Chain A
Amino acid sequence: MNERQIPSFTFIGLPNEGKTTIASTLAGNGKLSISDKPGETTHKEEHVVLSVTKAPLLALFDTPGFQNVGELIEWFQEHDSPKEANPAKAFLAVPHHHKKFPHDCEVLETIAEGSMPILVVDSSRPVSEFDQLVAKLLGLCKVARIGLLNPKEGKGEYAEDRRSALGREIPIWRHFNPFTEGPSQRLDFIDSLRGHKADWDDGIKLAVRELRQSYQGNFEGVAEEIVKSLKRACQEKVQIAVTSKGEETAKKVASSKLEKKISKIEKDCRKTVLEAFAHNPDNWQSPTEFDIDLFHKKTWQLFGLSKKTVVVTSFLTGAATGTLIDIATGGGTMGIGALLGGAIGGGGAILLADKAADLKVLGNKAGGRSVQAQVERRSKFSSILLDRTTAFALDVAKRPHGNQTSHTEVTAVSSLCKRLEEQRKRKATRFQALVELWHREKRGSKVDEAEAWLREEIVSYLESEIFPQDSPTNSEET
């Protein structure tokens, strides 16, 4: 038998039992094409789990479903002999078998090469003769094997029936739902594969450790991207000359352009997050709430602002220097300020003088007029963006790779900002201070330190949400 150097497992079973979904989730590969249509997998596919240094750790094979169980069983029974150590290899040695049973040969090839079969069964349907024959076939293959109960779209109500009906051929069974199990369960499942082949135990242990480290690396990469995007969004500016269409039109255009730019920053950030966790951006379906426009009031409500709070626009007029507008999202007070400002025209400048003093007023030198849009520095916008990006990153990190079509409704979003506030008030203030520094476009060690702090907070947040059992942050905080 050509024993494989690294631990190798093959998911086998009847068509449409969820083998590809399981392989995708356990291999952490979102690029696999998963389909409801049975028989979509026609060739075996190897997924190698790599270490941080790209060394192969674990091989997982996705295979087509068995198609000719009846005929296979008959052949294996006829050729069953104590002398034959590798019956699967003997079956494959018959030349016409590859033509007659192409899918079945794809499955048996991996078993013949020493990969351990994991029989995947849908535990939401009763045991059929097919299941019994497939289990029997594995017994006739004379290899170590385990069973995996996948509840698919049901509740897995036939799990126990299966254990008892197929227990003679498959003594060990594991539960795994590739549609809901997150990273923690993924690692637990891989870890549970130890104990079947002594040679592989160390390899599996190493794979779990490396995968855990790989998550850590991903969290750090994602945190860096989020901080970078936040900074860009806070510093983004749009300047528009006031034309004959009037100031109001110019303001609308400026606001709209700024919104588009910031949305683009968020979109780019999301793409990087998806790629970091090896999800396919083209297939990704976010919960509906994440697809709502960033500037839609529903988004703001979702992230903790009251219904009355909407994006308001305040502005100062300056005939000589131009006009500056803020997209202010400061809540009630700011809204009143803006309304008052609007009501008394130029008087608004006095009412909002303390805010305006901090802002750079950009404009045309030759007495021309222009408007400039920028995120208001003391608004809650930065918190909203931070919350939304981290909540998205959390969803991505948690989402099993086999689950490409999430229709989950998000009713309450876990908020990093709220967490910061709850933990220590000063942490929230520190974030606001960082936003202030970004607005002022300050550079230096103070900014670097604050950014490093925010990155750590994001990493710690993701860690504690995804691996709550071994989160150092949690224990430290408590």
Chain B
Amino acid sequence: MSNAATPDSTLNENARIPFYDLGSIIELELAEAYDENSNRKTLVVRDMDVSAEIAKEGLTAESQPEILALWLESRRADQELALTKTGKRIRVISLRVGMVGFLSLALLGASFAWATLKLKGGGESVDIITFWCLTAFIPALFTLWAIVRQLPIPFLNPSDGSSMFREALAKFLHWRWHKKSPSGSERWTKAIAEVEMRLASREGILGAMLSQLVLKLGLGSVIGIWAAVAWFETWSDQRYSWSSQAASVTEKRLATSAAWIALPWSWYDGAGSGYPTYQQIKESRVTPDKQQPSQGMNTRSAWISFVNYSILVYALFPRIILLGIGKCRLRSLLKRNGFKQERFNRICQRLLNPSLGFRTASEALEQVSNGEAEQEKELGSNLRKGAPEKRRNSHLNILLIPAGFPAEDVNRAISRLPEQEGQPIDHQEKFSLLPKQQKELLTRLMAENQGAIDSVLVLQDLSLPPMDDFRSLHQRLREYLGDEVPVRFVLTSPQNTYQPSNLPHWKAAILNFHDPFVSTITLSNTP
């Protein structure tokens, strides 16, 4: 396994990211989780055509997102999974939420601005300060908040900020999948539990998707406000005025403030037309002596431009820019965290290095139908035969077995491992729970193999729940093996003591390591 994939090597900056939306992400995770619990035979048959396609397109390990996209496409065609239905439903819902939300907020914004104008106007002049605050300043504040939310400030934007969204999504998926589960199989139930947990490790991507949606909705409201203001100003000859009892609010101060606010567009549309001058502001003032402002057309036009530019510059454009930045951020997040997990690395390696040579899926399926047992036997032996050849120049796969694990159960697990793993075990070691003995073992292993350990498999007893000792073991493995050696926890249990209720807790505990080079294999241990 010389091409052991690391996140950096598998995804360089030029890698093309195919279109991945929320539905695709969920589909990808579900397909992977479902495959994990599937048997090797089915996987190999399904992957034949994908491997052929990859070879035809000349894709390499650097194109992991594209390889996964092809793989996902093959899974979508799988009747048993009915992935398309799930992904489609998510896509339709998010599209509807986006469109309906956008239109509703646009309508709400327009009605709000219209009502403000009509109420404040009422046949007389419109109070320009209130109007400006409501239509430009407040939306600008919301935009500012949206900008702040995008900044990497842990205090304001904790990493689990989208947990509510994630939980809501998990609830929906739970409801949806349980309703549509293929014959309520155990494999399917496990896959659902797995994906629901994986959503937690997708917080960043889910958060970015949610933030895109919120930005779009906000954009709708700003566009609505702006459209209403533009319409009103075009078709009405309403005058603008202002008044204040406060001594501090003077014409001079307002003129200075307006000039500062208008700074971004003053180079294009200056004082008197792009924003009001001191004289125009003075003209617009309503005092007890002067109830109706003596306002010329120029003054009205200056006020209109000022409001319009304010909305455009402070509320609308930043949102559009944020939307663009958000898209780039999402792509970057997908590139960094979307496909680099060990579970996806494994799929890509499997597809790039098929052990059985190319056959068409129909040929393989024909063979399967001719004799399932024989096929399985053949595939198993092929895997065993093929593996050493590939691994001639590679390093070691080591299996660590808990000291008290019954010998016959260890043998049973080992006999099943190549079917799941595709690689034989080079070396086995028993390990104790005692930290000192664990350290001694790891030191010895590293010394004997001069640090060239390709991957480590650790058998874990599923009949017990995970404890802190397990976390310590993981820390110790990392301390001695380094951060990038793949560690696979083989979750199994002594015969007839399989406790499926512990499985989600083990997976959750492993996810909590936040270690991209850790993955799991679940082995049922029935005779």
Contacts and interface: CB of A to CB of B under 8 A. Distances in A.
A281 B273 CA distance: 76
Contact of B404 (A14, A38, A68, A127): A127
Contacts of A126: 406, 463, 494, 497
B433 A38 contact: no
Interface in B433-489: 433-436, 438, 461, 463-469, 472
B472 A71 contact: yes
Contact of A130 (B435, B436, B464, B472): B464
A296 B328 CA distance: 65
Contact of A129 (B404, B463, B466): B404
Nearest to A78: B436
B141 to A, nearest CB: 43
B464 A68 contact: no
A67 B469 contact: yes
A14 B463 CA distance: 12
A38 B465 contact: yes
Nearest to B494: A126
Given A38-B502, A125-B494, A129-B403, A15 B472 contact: no
B319 to A, nearest CB: 44
B183 interface: no
A51 B405 CA distance: 46
A308 to B, nearest CB: 40
A69 B497 contact: no
A71 B465 CA distance: 18
Given A15-B465, A38-B505, A128 B405 contact: yes
A449 interface: no
Contact of B468 (A16, A67, A74): A67
B402 interface: yes
Interface in B472-527: 472, 493-494, 497, 501-502, 505
B434 A70 contact: yes
Given A38-B505, A126-B494, A127-B404, A69 B433 contact: yes
Contact of B467 (A66, A124, A131): A66
A83 interface: no
Contact of B436 (A67, A74, A128): A74
Nearest to B469: A70
A124 B497 contact: yes
B434 A74 contact: yes
Given A71-B472, A73-B434, A129 B465 contact: no
A468 interface: no
Given A39-B465, A67-B467, A68-B467, A130 B494 contact: no
B434 to A, nearest CB: 5
A132 B432 CA distance: 12
B502 to A, nearest CB: 7
Interface in A97-119: 101, 103
A359 interface: no
A67 B404 CA distance: 17
Contacts of B468: 67-68, 101, 103
Contact of A125 (B466, B497, B505): B497
A129 B508 CA distance: 23
B433 A133 contact: yes
Contacts of A245: none
A36 B404 contact: no
B473 to A, nearest CB: 9
B435 A69 contact: no
Most A-side CB within 10 Å, residue of B406, B493, B497: B497
Q: Most chain-A CB neighbours within 10 Å: which of B403, B464, B493, B502?
A: B464
B461 A65 contact: no
A407 interface: no
B463 A125 contact: yes
B464 A128 contact: yes
A16 B465 contact: yes
Given A70-B433, A70-B435, A73-B434, A129 B469 contact: no
A37 B501 CA distance: 8
Nearest to B403: A129
A36 B467 CA distance: 15
Contacts of A133: 433-434
A208 to B, nearest CB: 34
B433 A129 contact: yes
A192 B28 CA distance: 58
A131 B403 CA distance: 12
B465 A68 contact: no
A70 B467 CA distance: 11
B300 to A, nearest CB: 69
Nearest to A165: B404
Contacts of A124: 497
A14 B467 contact: yes
Nearest to B436: A74
B467 A37 contact: no
Interface string A70-100: 1101100000000000000000000000000
A36 B501 contact: yes
A36 B464 CA distance: 12
Contacts of B501: 36
A131 B494 CA distance: 15
Contacts of A15: 464-465, 467
Nearest to A72: B469
Interface string B389-415: 000000000000011111000000000
B404 A128 contact: yes
A101 B472 CA distance: 12
A69 B469 contact: yes
Given A14-B467, A65-B467, A124-B497, A71 B435 contact: yes
Contacts of B463: 125-126, 128
A52 B405 CA distance: 49
A15 B405 CA distance: 18
A284 to B, nearest CB: 23
Nearest to B431: A129
Contacts of B467: 14-15, 65-69, 130
Nearest to B467: A67
Contacts of A69: 433, 467, 469
A36 B434 CA distance: 28
B434 A128 contact: no
Contacts of A39: 465, 505
Interface in A137-196: 154
Contacts of A74: 434-436
Contacts of A68: 467-469, 472
A365 to B, nearest CB: 60
A258 B221 CA distance: 58
Interface in A1-28: 14-16
A164 to B, nearest CB: 14
Contacts of B461: 128
A346 B157 CA distance: 81
Interface in A53-73: 65-71, 73
B500 to A, nearest CB: 11
A154 B493 CA distance: 15
Interface in A29-50: 36-39
Contacts of B434: 70, 73-74, 133
> Which of B463, B467, B494, B497 is the most central at the interface, judged by chain A CB atoms within 10 Å of its CB?
B467
10 contacts: A39-B505, A65-B465, A68-B467, A71-B469, A74-B436, A124-B497, A125-B464, A125-B494, A133-B433, A133-B434
Interface of A: 14-16, 36-39, 65-71, 73-74, 101, 103, 124-133, 154
Closest 6 CB pairs of A and B: A38-B465, A129-B404, A67-B468, A70-B433, A125-B497, A125-B463
Given A70-B469, A126-B494, 13 more contacts: A15-B465, A16-B465, A38-B465, A70-B432, A71-B435, A71-B469, A126-B463, A128-B405, A128-B463, A128-B464, A130-B464, A130-B469, A132-B404
